[in-house]
Structure 1
């Protein structure tokens, strides 16, 4: 079980990292929350979205992160924690836990500390705290794409991808939606690109909501791989100054 939990923690961290090396983030609702109908035509807000991205604050900051992974409509794994952004590499602390829908013999819970040069993970199963296990950071991490790159991919799809303004978390956010192809992903998200090639996945559906500060407030992707549907939802909230992160004692 410990090996399974460690591998799963690493995979979930990869899901998070594959979208956030220089990530624009913001406050977002729970994945099941409904957004309001678009109130602003796409043609009126497209320039504002591009300008907001260009003017996004590059300073380091931290935010609470929540990643939910679904198989079909069933929530399988939740990853949450606080991360530091806009630095040389993502750093922070995360917990990873299976949902109540996962059979007891497959359930697990882990804690992970991400440093610039290493990752530490331990199990938290059945109220028992395991030993920390150290792993090196993937050498390709510095080349991972940010959510802003996904936004630009969708903007490049043209008017059809520009869905107008929704209310997200009580504030306006511009929604972009479209299908991203394997080839388009090559320079944006190499890890996912490699996975798509390995499974023969040609494209996937992607939705991104951007606020007026140029930060992604909600990100969703739906992938069909090897005959199975997977949905990832990443949300951010409670911004603040960078938080200290160190190796466990």
Structure 2
């Protein structure tokens, strides 16, 4: 279970929406989602999400990112850290840790440094001790961080049915977009995921995106099947600020 969950967590960060059949109805509901459901979509003070995305600042910035991966209704893996965006390539530091629901013999914790040309990963134990760094080089065929703004635009292109209105999520107001995307829609937006979907015979997947009035994605959700397991990823972004320095470990 832990291995599958770790793979699913990597899918959402590395390739955006995951490659798998949709089972949205069976996905767990978070507290923030329940709060958002009580909001009134399409209220008069809703900002124009299309304009917000178009006018989003393209200057480099960093954000805290947290991904929770659920298998069935159980939280299994948490990935968290700070990432730099809008640069020549996404960089940052992340930890990937199994939750208490994972059996002890499957539990793990890792730390990763992402650079423009390589990633460095090491294991962590319960006492805080760390293993040796392992370097993996990147090339043109390597996966990259998803452009969540591009996914928001794909949902906008679905028309009025994708526009769910303004909601509160994570303490901020954001506009929620929701729908299913197909292989063909990803052809020019996320070629790696497009190729993966073709290889696995996946025709479409469901995802939701929440965009704030500055045109930044603050929440992203996906529903997928992987290795026969129904899964849901919840990604949140916050505490936006200037880029942070990231370098290879010594």
TM-score range, shorter chain: 0.7 to 0.9
Show the counterpart of 2:14: 17
1:139 aligned counterpart, secondary structure: coil
| Deviation (angstroms), 1:120 | 0.5
The Cα of 1:164 is off from its aligned counterpart by 1.1
Equivalent position SS for 2:101? coil
Alignment of 1:43-192 (within 5 A): 48-127=48-127, 128-140=129-141, 145-192=146-193
**CA offset digits 1:158-193 (Å, max 9, x no partner):** 111111111223332111111111221222223333
Runs of 4+ that moved beyond 4 A: 7-14, 42-46, 141-145
Q: How far 1:75 moved relative to its partner? A: 1.3
Instruction: Provide closer, same or farther for how the CA distance between residues 11 and 223 of structure 1 changes in structure 2, counting only shifts above 3 A.
Output: closer
**Structure 2 portions without partners, runs of 5+:** 18-28
**What do you get for the CA RMSD once the two structures are aligned?**
2.8
| 2:234 partner SS | strand
- Paired with 1:58 and 1:194, the residues of 2 have a C-alpha distance of 28
Alpha-carbon distance between aligned partners in 2 of 1:42 and 1:156, rounded to the nearest angstrom: 21
Deviation at 1:230, TM superposition (A): 1.6
**DSSP-derived class of the 1:35 partner:** helix
The answer for the alignment partner of 2:36 in structure 1 is: 35
Count how many residue pairs are aligned between Structure 1 and Structure 2: 235
1:11 to 1:129, Cα distance in 2 relative to 1, 3 A = farther
What does residue range 201-212 of structure 1 map to in structure 2 within 5 Å?
201-212=202-213
SS at 1:183 equivalent: helix
Cα deviation code 1:91-120 (max 9, x no counterpart) = 111101011111111111000011111110
Q: 1:9–1:110: 8 Å Cα contact kept in structure 2?
A: no
**Shift of residue 38, structure 1, vs aligned partner:** 4.2
Say whether 1:228 aligns with 2:229.
Answer: yes
Cα contact 2:220–2:234 (8 A) shared by 1: yes
Q: How far apart, in 1, do the equivalents of 2:94 and 2:136 lie? A: 15
Could you tell me whether the CA contact under 8 Å between 1:201 and 1:225 is conserved in 2?
no
In structure 2, the CA distance between the partners of 1:9 and 1:130, relative to structure 1 (3 Å rule), is farther
Most deviating of 117-126 and 144-153: 144-153
In the superposition, the TM-score normalised over structure 2's length comes to 0.83
